[in-house]
Amino acid sequence: MKILVNGIQSNLRFSSAHVIPGHESCGFIHGHSYFVDVEIEGERAGEFEFVVDFKDVKKYTKALCDELDHRLLIPVYNSLIDFKDFDKESDSIFELKKQKSVYFKIDGKGYTLPAVDCVFLPLPYTSAEELSKFFAETLARKLGETYDNLEYISVCVNEGIGQGAQFKKEFVE
């Protein structure tokens, strides 16, 4: 059985700025008002024969949305971003979060930002495609702690009405 959670109607939204380094038009800092749709398939189970409790899906998805809301999303593992005092090969992303300010360059343009205004993501890009994968994998890990009856989680991160990217994460037995 499949359950669906509509991001607009369930208030699973976030507004963030991002940049796609090297892209002709998206290579400049710009923003979107995102919303997140979730689809989960699995067997009905438990006392109430739920696939998954909607409350859990919305709670975990909303927590992710809140973490990204009103921040600049930075794809730490993008090869075109050069950080000052941070080595992508050996340093932890948590080190960036501890800094008061973060310094980086993209194509020779230098940026200095308060670290608290940024979310450092372990991604190569902050595209809708990568964000949908990030959401699906994060939700799969979290829901997998409680539910053992799930077949897949599919997440669509929409950059606005009419355009989004969907990633399907299958549970492997």
Exactly one of 26, 39, 95, 151 is catalytic; name it.
26
Exactly one of 39, 129, 151, 159 is catalytic; name it.
159
The first and second tokens of residue 156, run together, are 């669509």
70 is a catalytic site residue = yes
Exactly one of 30, 43, 67, 70 is catalytic; name it.
70
159 is a catalytic site residue = yes
Nearest by Cα to 18 from 7, 34, 38, 37 = 34
- Cβ atoms of 139 and 60 within 8 Å: the answer is yes
156 is a catalytic site residue = no
Full DSSP string of the chain: -EEEE-TTTTT-EEEEEE--TT-TTTTS-EEEEEEEEEEEEE--BTTTTBSS-HHHHHHHHHHHHHHHTTSEEEETT-TTEEETT--TTTS-HHHHHHSSEEEEEETTEEEEEEGGGEEEESSS--SHHHHHHHHHHHHHHHHHTT-S-EEEEEEEEEEETTEEEEEEEE---
Residues with a known catalytic role: 26, 70, 159
